[in-house]
Structure 1
Amino acid sequence: MSRPEKNTTTLRHHILITGASSGIGAALAEYYARPGVHLTLWGRSEERLEKTATAARTKGASVDTLSIDLTQAEVALKELIKADDKLAVDILILSAGMADIRPHNALAESADTALKMSMVNFATPVAMATEMANRMAARRHGRIGIMGSVASFHDLPLATVYSGSKAGLGRFSTALQAAMTPYNVRVCLIAPGFIDTPMSQRLDGEQAFLVPVEKAARKIARSINSGRSVLVFPWVFQLTRLLEMALPRPIAHRILRRLDVMQHPEGEGGA
Protein backbone atom coordinates (compact mmCIF):
# COMPACT_ATOMS: atom_id res chain seq x y z
CA MET A 1 0.00 0.00 0.00
CA SER A 2 1.46 3.35 -1.05
CA ARG A 3 1.28 6.50 1.05
CA PRO A 4 2.27 9.40 -1.24
CA GLU A 5 2.90 12.98 -0.15
CA LYS A 6 2.19 16.09 -2.17
CA ASN A 7 4.63 18.60 -3.68
CA THR A 8 7.59 16.19 -3.91
CA THR A 9 8.44 17.59 -7.37
CA THR A 10 9.88 20.72 -5.71
CA LEU A 11 12.50 18.72 -3.80
CA ARG A 12 16.08 18.32 -4.92
CA HIS A 13 17.25 14.91 -3.69
CA HIS A 14 15.33 11.66 -4.16
CA ILE A 15 16.57 8.49 -2.47
CA LEU A 16 14.78 5.16 -2.90
CA ILE A 17 15.60 2.44 -0.38
CA THR A 18 14.33 -1.14 -0.41
CA GLY A 19 14.23 -3.16 2.80
CA ALA A 20 13.49 0.02 4.73
CA SER A 21 11.06 -1.49 7.23
CA SER A 22 13.88 -2.65 9.53
CA GLY A 23 17.60 -3.25 9.91
CA ILE A 24 20.13 -1.52 7.71
CA GLY A 25 17.50 -0.14 5.33
CA ALA A 26 15.71 1.64 8.16
CA ALA A 27 19.00 2.93 9.55
CA LEU A 28 19.97 4.29 6.12
CA ALA A 29 16.61 6.04 5.81
CA GLU A 30 17.20 7.80 9.12
CA TYR A 31 20.77 8.67 8.13
CA TYR A 32 19.70 10.36 4.89
CA ALA A 33 16.59 12.04 6.33
CA ARG A 34 16.81 15.84 6.38
CA PRO A 35 15.02 18.87 4.89
CA GLY A 36 15.30 18.96 1.10
CA VAL A 37 15.39 15.15 0.81
CA HIS A 38 12.55 13.00 -0.46
CA LEU A 39 12.68 9.34 0.60
CA THR A 40 10.82 6.55 -1.13
CA LEU A 41 10.85 3.63 1.30
CA TRP A 42 9.95 0.07 0.36
CA GLY A 43 9.48 -2.86 2.71
CA ARG A 44 7.32 -5.88 3.46
CA SER A 45 5.80 -4.74 6.75
CA GLU A 46 3.53 -1.72 6.35
CA GLU A 47 3.50 -1.14 10.12
CA ARG A 48 7.30 -1.18 10.51
CA LEU A 49 7.72 0.83 7.32
CA GLU A 50 5.49 3.57 8.69
CA LYS A 51 7.63 3.64 11.85
CA THR A 52 10.71 4.29 9.71
CA ALA A 53 8.83 6.93 7.73
CA THR A 54 7.73 8.73 10.90
CA ALA A 55 11.32 8.91 12.16
CA ALA A 56 12.46 10.28 8.79
CA ARG A 57 9.68 12.89 8.68
CA THR A 58 10.69 14.02 12.18
CA LYS A 59 14.10 14.88 10.73
CA GLY A 60 12.51 17.00 8.00
CA ALA A 61 12.40 14.64 5.02
CA SER A 62 9.29 14.01 2.96
CA VAL A 63 8.45 10.34 2.54
CA ASP A 64 6.53 7.93 0.34
CA THR A 65 6.15 4.33 1.48
CA LEU A 66 5.28 1.16 -0.38
CA SER A 67 4.59 -2.27 1.09
CA ILE A 68 5.85 -4.66 -1.57
CA ASP A 69 6.86 -8.28 -2.12
CA LEU A 70 10.15 -8.35 -4.03
CA THR A 71 9.56 -11.87 -5.26
CA GLN A 72 7.25 -10.10 -7.75
CA ALA A 73 9.93 -8.55 -9.97
CA GLU A 74 7.57 -7.16 -12.62
CA VAL A 75 5.56 -5.30 -9.96
CA ALA A 76 8.76 -3.92 -8.44
CA LEU A 77 9.94 -2.66 -11.83
CA LYS A 78 6.64 -0.91 -12.53
CA GLU A 79 6.73 0.79 -9.13
CA LEU A 80 10.37 1.83 -9.62
CA ILE A 81 9.56 3.41 -12.99
CA LYS A 82 6.56 5.17 -11.47
CA ALA A 83 8.69 6.60 -8.64
CA ASP A 84 11.45 7.77 -11.00
CA ASP A 85 8.96 9.34 -13.42
CA LYS A 86 7.43 11.28 -10.54
CA LEU A 87 10.80 12.55 -9.30
CA ALA A 88 14.16 11.45 -10.70
CA VAL A 89 15.93 9.11 -8.29
CA ASP A 90 19.40 10.35 -7.34
CA ILE A 91 20.35 7.38 -5.14
CA LEU A 92 18.94 3.86 -5.33
CA ILE A 93 19.84 1.61 -2.39
CA LEU A 94 18.89 -2.04 -2.81
CA SER A 95 19.07 -3.11 0.81
CA ALA A 96 16.31 -5.74 0.93
CA GLY A 97 17.48 -9.30 1.29
CA MET A 98 16.39 -12.73 2.39
CA ALA A 99 18.67 -14.87 4.57
CA ASP A 100 17.83 -18.48 5.33
CA ILE A 101 20.13 -21.33 6.21
CA ARG A 102 19.67 -25.06 5.81
CA PRO A 103 17.07 -26.37 8.30
CA HIS A 104 18.30 -28.66 11.06
CA ASN A 105 18.81 -32.23 9.81
CA ALA A 106 18.15 -31.18 6.18
CA LEU A 107 20.70 -31.77 3.44
CA ALA A 108 20.05 -28.42 1.74
CA GLU A 109 17.56 -25.58 1.64
CA SER A 110 14.15 -26.30 0.16
CA ALA A 111 13.46 -25.59 -3.50
CA ASP A 112 10.73 -23.10 -2.50
CA THR A 113 13.16 -21.19 -0.30
CA ALA A 114 15.77 -21.28 -3.06
CA LEU A 115 13.36 -19.75 -5.57
CA LYS A 116 12.17 -16.97 -3.24
CA MET A 117 15.69 -16.14 -2.08
CA SER A 118 16.99 -16.04 -5.64
CA MET A 119 14.29 -13.53 -6.58
CA VAL A 120 14.78 -11.26 -3.57
CA ASN A 121 18.58 -11.45 -3.40
CA PHE A 122 19.42 -11.55 -7.10
CA ALA A 123 16.81 -11.38 -9.86
CA THR A 124 14.72 -8.44 -8.62
CA PRO A 125 17.61 -6.19 -7.51
CA VAL A 126 19.44 -6.93 -10.77
CA ALA A 127 16.38 -5.91 -12.79
CA MET A 128 15.86 -2.77 -10.70
CA ALA A 129 19.51 -1.74 -10.84
CA THR A 130 19.62 -2.27 -14.61
CA GLU A 131 16.52 -0.15 -15.19
CA MET A 132 17.78 2.61 -12.92
CA ALA A 133 21.31 2.52 -14.39
CA ASN A 134 19.89 3.16 -17.86
CA ARG A 135 17.82 6.06 -16.59
CA MET A 136 20.66 7.57 -14.55
CA ALA A 137 23.10 7.19 -17.47
CA ALA A 138 20.73 9.20 -19.67
CA ARG A 139 20.79 11.93 -17.00
CA ARG A 140 24.58 11.54 -16.54
CA HIS A 141 24.24 11.34 -12.78
CA GLY A 142 23.35 8.83 -10.08
CA ARG A 143 24.39 6.45 -7.35
CA ILE A 144 23.34 2.83 -6.87
CA GLY A 145 24.12 0.92 -3.68
CA ILE A 146 23.72 -2.87 -3.79
CA MET A 147 23.74 -4.94 -0.59
CA GLY A 148 25.89 -8.03 -0.96
CA SER A 149 27.52 -9.97 1.84
CA VAL A 150 30.88 -11.39 2.91
CA ALA A 151 29.05 -14.73 2.63
CA SER A 152 29.49 -14.36 -1.13
CA PHE A 153 33.23 -14.96 -0.71
CA HIS A 154 32.79 -18.41 0.83
CA ASP A 155 31.29 -21.79 -0.13
CA LEU A 156 28.90 -22.04 2.82
CA PRO A 157 27.38 -25.54 3.14
CA LEU A 158 24.78 -24.20 5.59
CA ALA A 159 23.67 -21.42 3.24
CA THR A 160 24.28 -22.50 -0.34
CA VAL A 161 21.52 -20.35 -1.85
CA TYR A 162 22.27 -17.29 0.25
CA SER A 163 26.00 -17.32 -0.46
CA GLY A 164 25.39 -18.18 -4.10
CA SER A 165 22.79 -15.46 -4.70
CA LYS A 166 24.99 -12.86 -3.02
CA ALA A 167 27.99 -13.99 -5.07
CA GLY A 168 26.02 -13.50 -8.28
CA LEU A 169 24.87 -10.09 -7.09
CA GLY A 170 28.45 -9.13 -6.30
CA ARG A 171 29.73 -9.92 -9.78
CA PHE A 172 26.78 -8.12 -11.34
CA SER A 173 27.50 -5.03 -9.21
CA THR A 174 31.14 -4.71 -10.21
CA ALA A 175 30.29 -5.39 -13.87
CA LEU A 176 27.59 -2.68 -13.77
CA GLN A 177 30.09 -0.30 -12.19
CA ALA A 178 32.46 -0.94 -15.10
CA ALA A 179 29.67 -0.23 -17.60
CA MET A 180 28.31 2.90 -15.91
CA THR A 181 31.47 4.78 -14.87
CA PRO A 182 31.77 6.66 -18.21
CA TYR A 183 28.26 8.03 -17.64
CA ASN A 184 28.90 9.42 -14.14
CA VAL A 185 26.81 6.69 -12.54
CA ARG A 186 28.57 5.02 -9.62
CA VAL A 187 27.63 1.55 -8.38
CA CYS A 188 28.73 0.52 -4.89
CA LEU A 189 28.80 -3.13 -3.84
CA ILE A 190 28.38 -3.35 -0.07
CA ALA A 191 29.67 -6.60 1.44
CA PRO A 192 29.24 -6.47 5.22
CA GLY A 193 29.82 -9.10 7.85
CA PHE A 194 27.44 -9.37 10.79
CA ILE A 195 25.38 -6.24 11.50
CA ASP A 196 23.20 -5.99 14.60
CA THR A 197 19.84 -6.27 12.81
CA PRO A 198 16.78 -8.52 13.13
CA MET A 199 18.29 -10.72 10.43
CA SER A 200 21.42 -11.40 12.51
CA GLN A 201 19.40 -11.69 15.70
CA ARG A 202 17.65 -14.76 14.26
CA LEU A 203 20.94 -16.66 14.33
CA ASP A 204 22.25 -18.76 17.19
CA GLY A 205 26.01 -19.05 16.96
CA GLU A 206 29.13 -16.92 16.97
CA GLN A 207 28.78 -13.62 15.11
CA ALA A 208 32.34 -12.32 15.00
CA PHE A 209 32.95 -8.57 14.83
CA LEU A 210 29.26 -7.62 15.08
CA VAL A 211 28.76 -4.02 13.88
CA PRO A 212 26.10 -1.69 15.37
CA VAL A 213 23.52 -0.86 12.73
CA GLU A 214 23.93 2.93 13.00
CA LYS A 215 27.70 2.65 12.48
CA ALA A 216 27.13 0.38 9.49
CA ALA A 217 24.65 2.85 7.96
CA ARG A 218 27.14 5.71 8.22
CA LYS A 219 29.89 3.66 6.59
CA ILE A 220 27.61 2.46 3.79
CA ALA A 221 26.12 5.89 3.04
CA ARG A 222 29.54 7.55 2.89
CA SER A 223 30.80 4.90 0.49
CA ILE A 224 27.77 5.29 -1.79
CA ASN A 225 27.99 9.08 -1.72
CA SER A 226 31.71 9.10 -2.55
CA GLY A 227 31.29 6.74 -5.50
CA ARG A 228 33.31 3.91 -3.99
CA SER A 229 32.97 0.71 -6.01
CA VAL A 230 33.32 -1.93 -3.26
CA LEU A 231 32.93 -1.75 0.51
CA VAL A 232 33.86 -4.78 2.61
CA PHE A 233 33.65 -4.44 6.38
CA PRO A 234 34.79 -5.15 9.03
CA TRP A 235 38.29 -5.26 7.52
CA VAL A 236 39.01 -8.72 8.97
CA PHE A 237 36.73 -10.27 6.34
CA GLN A 238 39.15 -9.13 3.67
CA LEU A 239 41.66 -11.42 5.37
CA THR A 240 39.28 -14.38 5.62
CA ARG A 241 38.53 -13.97 1.92
CA LEU A 242 42.23 -14.14 1.07
CA LEU A 243 42.74 -17.06 3.43
CA GLU A 244 40.07 -19.18 1.79
CA MET A 245 41.44 -18.32 -1.64
CA ALA A 246 44.87 -19.53 -0.53
CA LEU A 247 43.62 -22.83 0.90
CA PRO A 248 43.03 -25.87 -1.31
CA ARG A 249 39.27 -26.06 -1.84
CA PRO A 250 38.79 -29.49 -0.16
CA ILE A 251 40.46 -28.19 3.00
CA ALA A 252 38.40 -24.99 2.96
CA HIS A 253 35.21 -27.03 2.53
CA ARG A 254 36.15 -29.31 5.41
CA ILE A 255 36.52 -26.27 7.67
CA LEU A 256 33.29 -24.66 6.48
CA ARG A 257 31.30 -27.85 7.05
CA ARG A 258 32.13 -27.55 10.74
CA LEU A 259 30.25 -24.28 11.10
CA ASP A 260 27.42 -24.72 13.60
CA VAL A 261 24.71 -22.08 13.24
CA MET A 262 21.00 -22.33 13.96
CA GLN A 263 18.33 -19.90 12.81
CA HIS A 264 15.08 -18.96 14.54
CA PRO A 265 11.95 -18.66 12.39
CA GLU A 266 11.23 -15.16 11.19
CA GLY A 267 9.60 -13.12 13.92
CA GLU A 268 11.75 -14.64 16.68
CA GLY A 269 15.15 -13.68 18.01
CA GLY A 270 14.60 -9.92 18.22
CA ALA A 271 12.93 -9.35 14.85
Structure 2
Amino acid sequence: MSDFEGLTALVTGGASGIGRATADLLAERGARVAVLDLDPSSVDKPLLAYRADVTDDTSVRAAVADAVAALGGLDVLVNNAGVGAQGTVEDNDDTEWHRVLDVNVLGMVRVARAALPHLRASAHAAIVNTCSVAATAGLPQRALYSASKGAVHALTLAMAADHVREGVRVNCVNPGTVDTPWVGRLLDAAPDPAAERAALEARQPTGRLVSAAQVAGAIAYLASPLSGATTGTALAVDGGMQGLRLRPVAR
Protein backbone atom coordinates (compact mmCIF):
# COMPACT_ATOMS: atom_id res chain seq x y z
CA MET A 1 0.00 0.00 0.00
CA SER A 2 1.11 3.57 -0.65
CA ASP A 3 -1.71 5.52 1.00
CA PHE A 4 0.79 7.65 2.94
CA GLU A 5 2.85 8.61 -0.12
CA GLY A 6 3.82 12.28 0.15
CA LEU A 7 2.64 12.57 3.77
CA THR A 8 4.65 13.20 6.93
CA ALA A 9 4.22 11.63 10.35
CA LEU A 10 5.50 12.05 13.88
CA VAL A 11 5.47 9.09 16.31
CA THR A 12 6.19 9.52 20.03
CA GLY A 13 7.69 6.63 21.95
CA GLY A 14 8.79 5.44 18.54
CA ALA A 15 12.07 3.72 19.36
CA SER A 16 10.55 0.40 20.42
CA GLY A 17 7.37 -1.63 20.79
CA ILE A 18 4.15 -0.29 19.28
CA GLY A 19 5.75 3.04 18.39
CA ARG A 20 8.60 1.50 16.42
CA ALA A 21 6.28 -0.91 14.61
CA THR A 22 4.04 2.03 13.69
CA ALA A 23 6.90 4.23 12.49
CA ASP A 24 8.27 1.41 10.33
CA LEU A 25 4.84 0.64 8.86
CA LEU A 26 4.06 4.26 7.99
CA ALA A 27 7.45 4.57 6.31
CA GLU A 28 6.84 1.36 4.35
CA ARG A 29 3.56 2.82 3.14
CA GLY A 30 5.17 5.99 1.83
CA ALA A 31 5.32 8.47 4.71
CA ARG A 32 8.34 10.46 5.81
CA VAL A 33 8.49 9.66 9.51
CA ALA A 34 10.13 11.27 12.54
CA VAL A 35 10.38 9.50 15.89
CA LEU A 36 10.41 11.22 19.26
CA ASP A 37 11.73 9.20 22.19
CA LEU A 38 13.66 9.52 25.44
CA ASP A 39 16.34 7.33 23.86
CA PRO A 40 16.16 7.37 20.06
CA SER A 41 19.64 5.86 19.61
CA SER A 42 18.25 2.64 18.11
CA VAL A 43 16.33 4.49 15.37
CA ASP A 44 17.92 4.44 11.94
CA LYS A 45 17.12 5.55 8.39
CA PRO A 46 14.75 6.12 6.73
CA LEU A 47 13.30 7.25 10.07
CA LEU A 48 14.39 10.57 11.57
CA ALA A 49 15.13 10.51 15.30
CA TYR A 50 14.75 13.22 17.94
CA ARG A 51 15.19 13.07 21.68
CA ALA A 52 12.22 14.35 23.64
CA ASP A 53 10.83 14.03 27.16
CA VAL A 54 7.03 14.29 27.01
CA THR A 55 6.94 15.49 30.62
CA ASP A 56 8.93 18.60 29.63
CA ASP A 57 7.04 21.14 27.52
CA THR A 58 10.22 22.90 26.36
CA SER A 59 11.72 19.60 25.22
CA VAL A 60 8.53 18.67 23.37
CA ARG A 61 8.17 22.00 21.59
CA ALA A 62 11.81 21.99 20.47
CA ALA A 63 11.69 18.39 19.20
CA VAL A 64 8.39 18.89 17.36
CA ALA A 65 9.67 22.09 15.74
CA ASP A 66 12.89 20.38 14.63
CA ALA A 67 11.06 17.33 13.30
CA VAL A 68 8.48 19.36 11.38
CA ALA A 69 11.21 21.52 9.87
CA ALA A 70 13.08 18.43 8.68
CA LEU A 71 9.91 16.76 7.39
CA GLY A 72 8.66 19.89 5.66
CA GLY A 73 5.28 19.84 7.42
CA LEU A 74 3.11 17.48 9.44
CA ASP A 75 0.10 15.39 8.44
CA VAL A 76 -0.07 12.65 11.09
CA LEU A 77 0.67 12.58 14.81
CA VAL A 78 0.79 9.25 16.64
CA ASN A 79 0.67 9.98 20.37
CA ASN A 80 2.12 6.73 21.64
CA ALA A 81 4.60 7.51 24.43
CA GLY A 82 3.47 6.04 27.73
CA VAL A 83 4.40 4.09 30.84
CA GLY A 84 2.77 1.22 32.69
CA ALA A 85 1.76 0.83 36.31
CA GLN A 86 0.61 -2.02 38.52
CA GLY A 87 -1.41 -2.23 41.71
CA THR A 88 -4.72 -1.39 43.32
CA VAL A 89 -5.73 2.14 44.28
CA GLU A 90 -3.85 1.63 47.57
CA ASP A 91 -0.55 0.47 46.12
CA ASN A 92 0.89 3.60 44.48
CA ASP A 93 1.72 6.81 46.32
CA ASP A 94 0.95 10.32 45.12
CA THR A 95 4.34 10.66 43.46
CA GLU A 96 3.72 7.63 41.25
CA TRP A 97 0.20 8.80 40.38
CA HIS A 98 1.57 12.17 39.32
CA ARG A 99 4.38 10.54 37.31
CA VAL A 100 2.15 8.19 35.32
CA LEU A 101 -0.53 10.78 34.63
CA ASP A 102 2.17 13.27 33.62
CA VAL A 103 3.50 10.87 30.98
CA ASN A 104 0.34 9.13 29.79
CA VAL A 105 -2.08 12.05 29.74
CA LEU A 106 -0.25 15.37 29.93
CA GLY A 107 2.44 13.98 27.64
CA MET A 108 -0.17 13.60 24.90
CA VAL A 109 -1.50 17.08 25.64
CA ARG A 110 1.96 18.64 25.29
CA VAL A 111 2.76 16.92 22.00
CA ALA A 112 -0.66 17.63 20.50
CA ARG A 113 -0.44 21.27 21.58
CA ALA A 114 2.89 21.64 19.80
CA ALA A 115 1.75 19.74 16.71
CA LEU A 116 -1.70 21.23 16.09
CA PRO A 117 -0.54 24.48 14.43
CA HIS A 118 1.27 22.36 11.84
CA LEU A 119 -1.53 19.81 11.46
CA ARG A 120 -4.05 22.55 10.67
CA ALA A 121 -2.07 23.31 7.50
CA SER A 122 -2.51 19.73 6.24
CA ALA A 123 -5.27 18.47 3.95
CA HIS A 124 -5.04 15.03 5.60
CA ALA A 125 -4.47 15.85 9.27
CA ALA A 126 -4.91 13.01 11.75
CA ILE A 127 -4.02 12.29 15.36
CA VAL A 128 -4.06 8.76 16.74
CA ASN A 129 -3.67 8.29 20.49
CA THR A 130 -2.57 4.97 21.97
CA CYS A 131 -5.15 4.14 24.63
CA SER A 132 -5.91 0.68 26.11
CA VAL A 133 -8.62 -1.88 26.82
CA ALA A 134 -7.97 -0.80 30.42
CA ALA A 135 -9.99 2.34 29.59
CA THR A 136 -13.15 0.33 28.98
CA ALA A 137 -12.76 -2.90 31.00
CA GLY A 138 -12.02 -3.30 34.68
CA LEU A 139 -8.69 -5.10 34.98
CA PRO A 140 -7.25 -6.24 38.33
CA GLN A 141 -4.09 -4.59 39.64
CA ARG A 142 -4.27 -1.75 37.10
CA ALA A 143 -5.99 1.12 38.96
CA LEU A 144 -3.50 3.85 38.12
CA TYR A 145 -2.86 2.67 34.58
CA SER A 146 -6.60 2.33 33.92
CA ALA A 147 -7.26 5.83 35.24
CA SER A 148 -4.62 7.26 32.91
CA LYS A 149 -5.99 5.44 29.88
CA GLY A 150 -9.58 6.31 30.76
CA ALA A 151 -8.44 9.93 30.63
CA VAL A 152 -6.83 9.32 27.21
CA HIS A 153 -10.11 7.88 25.92
CA ALA A 154 -12.08 10.92 27.12
CA LEU A 155 -9.39 13.28 25.85
CA THR A 156 -9.57 11.68 22.40
CA LEU A 157 -13.32 12.30 22.15
CA ALA A 158 -12.95 15.89 23.34
CA MET A 159 -10.12 16.60 20.91
CA ALA A 160 -12.12 15.08 18.05
CA ALA A 161 -14.99 17.45 18.81
CA ASP A 162 -12.72 20.46 19.19
CA HIS A 163 -10.78 20.00 15.97
CA VAL A 164 -13.10 18.29 13.47
CA ARG A 165 -14.07 21.62 11.87
CA GLU A 166 -10.40 22.48 11.52
CA GLY A 167 -9.93 19.39 9.38
CA VAL A 168 -8.06 17.41 12.06
CA ARG A 169 -9.35 13.90 12.77
CA VAL A 170 -8.65 12.42 16.23
CA ASN A 171 -9.04 8.74 17.11
CA CYS A 172 -7.48 6.21 19.47
CA VAL A 173 -6.59 2.53 19.49
CA ASN A 174 -7.39 0.35 22.51
CA PRO A 175 -4.91 -2.54 22.54
CA GLY A 176 -5.27 -5.55 24.79
CA THR A 177 -2.12 -7.08 26.28
CA VAL A 178 0.60 -6.49 23.70
CA ASP A 179 3.80 -8.50 23.47
CA THR A 180 6.13 -5.53 24.06
CA PRO A 181 9.36 -5.04 26.05
CA TRP A 182 7.33 -3.66 28.99
CA VAL A 183 5.13 -6.76 29.18
CA GLY A 184 8.27 -8.87 28.79
CA ARG A 185 9.76 -7.20 31.86
CA LEU A 186 6.57 -7.86 33.85
CA LEU A 187 6.69 -11.52 32.86
CA ASP A 188 10.37 -11.79 33.78
CA ALA A 189 9.61 -10.40 37.24
CA ALA A 190 6.72 -12.82 37.90
CA PRO A 191 7.32 -15.81 40.21
CA ASP A 192 6.32 -18.12 37.35
CA PRO A 193 6.78 -16.28 34.01
CA ALA A 194 5.35 -19.14 31.94
CA ALA A 195 2.21 -19.33 34.05
CA GLU A 196 1.79 -15.56 33.97
CA ARG A 197 2.12 -15.50 30.17
CA ALA A 198 -0.44 -18.31 29.90
CA ALA A 199 -2.86 -16.35 32.11
CA LEU A 200 -2.47 -13.20 29.99
CA GLU A 201 -2.98 -15.18 26.79
CA ALA A 202 -6.07 -16.92 28.18
CA ARG A 203 -7.58 -13.54 29.14
CA GLN A 204 -7.91 -12.71 25.43
CA PRO A 205 -10.46 -14.77 23.49
CA THR A 206 -8.00 -15.39 20.64
CA GLY A 207 -5.78 -17.16 23.18
CA ARG A 208 -2.67 -15.12 22.36
CA LEU A 209 -1.12 -11.77 23.06
CA VAL A 210 -1.57 -8.93 20.59
CA SER A 211 1.52 -8.13 18.51
CA ALA A 212 2.96 -4.65 18.12
CA ALA A 213 2.55 -5.02 14.36
CA GLN A 214 -1.20 -5.64 14.76
CA VAL A 215 -1.60 -2.45 16.77
CA ALA A 216 0.49 -0.58 14.21
CA GLY A 217 -1.87 -1.79 11.48
CA ALA A 218 -4.84 -0.36 13.37
CA ILE A 219 -3.06 2.96 13.92
CA ALA A 220 -2.22 3.17 10.23
CA TYR A 221 -5.85 2.47 9.35
CA LEU A 222 -7.06 5.37 11.50
CA ALA A 223 -4.31 7.72 10.32
CA SER A 224 -4.74 6.98 6.61
CA PRO A 225 -6.49 9.43 4.26
CA LEU A 226 -8.59 6.40 3.28
CA SER A 227 -10.26 6.75 6.71
CA GLY A 228 -11.18 10.38 6.15
CA ALA A 229 -14.72 9.89 7.55
CA THR A 230 -13.53 8.36 10.83
CA THR A 231 -13.07 10.59 13.87
CA GLY A 232 -13.90 10.32 17.56
CA THR A 233 -13.52 6.53 17.39
CA ALA A 234 -11.81 4.06 19.75
CA LEU A 235 -10.69 0.99 17.80
CA ALA A 236 -10.27 -2.14 19.93
CA VAL A 237 -7.23 -4.28 19.07
CA ASP A 238 -7.57 -6.71 21.94
CA GLY A 239 -8.22 -10.20 20.61
CA GLY A 240 -11.91 -9.80 21.46
CA MET A 241 -11.23 -9.06 25.12
CA GLN A 242 -13.60 -6.11 25.45
CA GLY A 243 -16.60 -7.34 23.48
CA LEU A 244 -16.66 -11.15 23.54
CA ARG A 245 -18.00 -13.36 26.30
CA LEU A 246 -17.03 -16.93 25.47
CA ARG A 247 -18.31 -19.97 27.34
CA PRO A 248 -15.66 -21.83 29.39
CA VAL A 249 -13.85 -24.56 27.52
CA ALA A 250 -15.37 -27.96 28.36
CA ARG A 251 -13.10 -30.18 30.42
Structure 2 matches for 1:6-21, cutoff 5 A?
12-21=6-15
| Deviation by residue 1:128-170 (Cα, 9 ceiling, x = unmatched) | 2234234423545411110111111245562222111111111
Question: What secondary structure sits across from 1:231 in the alignment?
Answer: strand
Percentage identity across paired residues of the two chains: 25
Residue among 145, 160, 171 paired with 2:128? 145
> In the alignment, residue 161 of structure 1 is paired with which amino acid?
L
Structure 1 35/123 Cα, relative in aligned 2: closer, same or farther at 3 Å? closer
- Is the 1:42–1:66 Cα contact (8 Å) retained in structure 2? yes
- Is the 2:37–2:52 Cα contact (8 Å) retained in structure 1? yes
| Deviation by residue 1:22-42 (Cα, 9 ceiling, x = unmatched) | 100010111112486321111
**Deviation of 1:69 (Å):** 2.3
- Is the 1:73–1:123 Cα contact (8 Å) retained in structure 2? no
Question: What secondary structure sits across from 2:54 in the alignment?
Answer: coil
> In the alignment, residue 85 of structure 2 is paired with which amino acid?
D
- Is the 1:21–1:43 Cα contact (8 Å) retained in structure 2? yes
Give TM-score, length-normalised by structure 1: 0.72
CA–CA distance in 2 between the matches of 1:181 and 1:197?
Answer: 32
| Deviation by residue 1:188-220 (Cα, 9 ceiling, x = unmatched) | 111111111112222343223311222221122
Give ranges in structure 1 of 5+ residues lacking alignment.
Answer: 1-10, 243-271
CA–CA distance in 1 between the matches of 2:59 and 2:106?
Answer: 13
Instruction: Confirm whether residue 80 of structure 1 aligns to residue 64 of structure 2.
Output: yes
Which residue matches 2:94?
111
Aligned residues: 219
Which residue matches 2:146?
163
> In the alignment, residue 99 of structure 1 is paired with which amino acid?
G
Which residue matches 2:25?
31
CA–CA distance in 1 between the matches of 2:174 and 2:29?
Answer: 30
> In the alignment, residue 222 of structure 2 is paired with which amino acid?
S
CA RMSD of aligned residues (A): 2.6
Which residue matches 2:81?
96
**Deviation of 1:102 (Å):** 2.6
Which residue matches 2:191?
none
> In the alignment, residue 165 of structure 1 is paired with which amino acid?
S
Structure 1 84/217 Cα, relative in aligned 2: closer, same or farther at 3 Å? same
**Deviation of 1:89 (Å):** 0.9
CA–CA distance in 2 between the matches of 1:174 and 1:149?
Answer: 14
